[in-house]
Amino acid sequence: MFIQSRSGLVFVASLLCLATASAQQLQPPSAKPASRTIHLDVVVSAKGGPPVGGLQQQDFTLLDNKAPQPITSFRAVRENDAPVEIILLIDSVNTTYQNVSFIRDQVDKVLRANAGHLDHPTSLAFLSDDGAHIQKGFTKDGNALSADLDNYTVGLRSIRRSSGVYGAEEQFQISITALRQLTAHEATLPGRKLILWISPGWPILSGPRIELDNKQEQQLFSEIADLSTQLREARVTLYAVDPLGAGASVGRTNYYEQFLKGVSKPSQVEIGNLSLQVLAAQSGGLVVNPSNDIASLLKECLADTAAYYEITFEASPAEHRDEYHHIEIKLTKPGLFARTHDGYYAQP
């Protein structure tokens, strides 16, 4: 990859190579034959409203590349019997040390609410310059998690502006590797998982000065298809929780939107397709508007566990490797919208 500037070309070739190497290291030791069953966790709501329960299978129409597909299984899940696990990730790589301190206070507020009784098994994760640190096990004891949070020390940043593209390349590498690590870990556990990634997002290394050659486009396409598949098969829904509040610029906050459409071939890819916000939206999660009230943002995301629907269908055989299929769910009741993984990459 090259970044064009007035002073010449800045070479950043290691970016995709590291992502590919990380993907290979995090693969399960023995892969099972690929299943054609697509499992979706679907949240239904009115625009801007809470999740809606009480719907029946006949209220749903599932479209695969605009073609209706039979729903092979359906289950409406309520909060009391929802098999959901929560990971709260504090990102100290893509935000300042001062912001991390404020984020910790806000997370602690959520953990200690309701006398420390959490609705779902929850774990903490921390992202620092030396990678992701994932707490072992899940618990509903918010007070115990609060104590663990107090005991975790965030070190000073080691990434300097002199690093690749003022440190942006390293931030991207660390973040993508951490997401893969988390997903691989969650893939070993049953049920639905929500990762609430508290961060303004890692750098979106796309723009008019970024040029990819054919080989890099193919590498990036493979990375996108593989990560999308891992998130879906692990039943991970990703949430982008921006803690910058009033300090966030509108242009920076909304820039990810031009990369939201699923990519079906290498010539369409840009590195922005791997941004935190894009991956969150495509997984069926939320990209919540920046706010200084991080505790309220986290509660907004956690509300997705109140009611949701488990739906499966059978994918048709693909004509070629990593054949992209767009998923759309329509509802018979007006004014309701469904959120879930918006696509999958089928195999022959």
What are 118-162's pLDDT values in tens digits? 999 999 999 998 899 998 899 999 999 999 999 887 654 554 444
pLDDT, position 211: 80
**Rounded average pLDDT over 255-266:** 95
pLDDT band at 250 (very low <50, low <70, confident <90, very high): low
**Rounded average pLDDT over 329-341:** 97
Instruction: Give every CB contact of residue 134 below 8 A, 6+ residues apart in sequence.
Output: 87, 123, 125, 181, 182, 185
What is the average pLDDT value for the chain, to the nearest integer?
86
Percent pLDDT > 90 in the chain is 70
pLDDT, position 292: 87
pLDDT at 32 over 70: no
pLDDT, position 214: 93
Distance CA 185, CA 26 (A): 9
pLDDT band at 23 (very low <50, low <70, confident <90, very high): low
According to DSSP, the β-strands at 139-141 and 117-128 are antiparallel
pLDDT, position 249: 55
pLDDT, position 97: 80
Cα dihedral angle (289, 111, 145, 95), rounded to 10 degrees? 20
Distance CA 318, CA 102 (A): 48
pLDDT at 324 over 50: yes
Within a 10 A sphere around the Cβ of 203, how many other Cβ atoms? 19
pLDDT at 303 over 70: yes
**Rounded average pLDDT over 181-196:** 95
> In this structure, are residues 178 and 171 in contact, taking their beta carbons and an 8 Å threshold?
no
Least confident of 48-62, 240-254, 289-303: 240-254
pLDDT at 5 over 60: no
Higher pLDDT, 12 or 301: 301
**Rounded average pLDDT over 66-93:** 92
pLDDT at 190 over 50: yes
Q: What is the pLDDT of residues 209-219, one digit of tens each?
A: 678 899 999 99
pLDDT band at 117 (very low <50, low <70, confident <90, very high): very high
Helices 14-25 and 214-233: crossing angle, nearest 10°?
A: 30
pLDDT band at 164 (very low <50, low <70, confident <90, very high): very low
Distance CA 201, CA 254 (A): 12
Give long-range contacts, CB 8 A cutoff, 24+ apart: 22-28. 22/176, 22/177, 22/180, 23/180, 23/223, 23/226, 23/227, 26/180, 26/181, 26/184, 27/184, 28/184, 28/187
pLDDT at 244 over 80: yes
> In this structure, are residues 192 and 246 in contact, taking their beta carbons and an 8 Å threshold?
no
Higher pLDDT, 323 or 19: 323
Higher pLDDT, 291 or 71: 71
Higher pLDDT, 242 or 207: 242
Instruction: Give every CB contact of residue 185 below 8 A, 6+ residues apart in sequence.
Output: 134
Instruction: Give every CB contact of residue 78 below 8 A, 6+ residues apart in sequence.
Output: 53, 306, 307
Pick from 80, 88, 85, 133: nearest CA to 107? 88
The helix/strand count (H/E) of the chain reads as 8, 18
Higher pLDDT, 27 or 186: 186
Going from the N-terminus, what domains does the chain have, and what CATH number goes with each? 78-307 (3.40.50.410)
| Ramachandran angles phi, psi of 318, nearest 5° | -85, 155
- What is the sign, positive or negative, of the torsion defined by CA atoms of 2, 262, 236, 47? positive
pLDDT, position 330: 97
pLDDT band at 309 (very low <50, low <70, confident <90, very high): very high
322: Cα separation from own chain's centroid? 20
Distance CA 83, CA 97 (A): 35
Instruction: Give every CB contact of residue 201 below 8 A, 6+ residues apart in sequence.
Output: 94, 240, 242, 256, 275, 276, 277
pLDDT at 82 over 90: no
83: Cα separation from own chain's centroid? 19
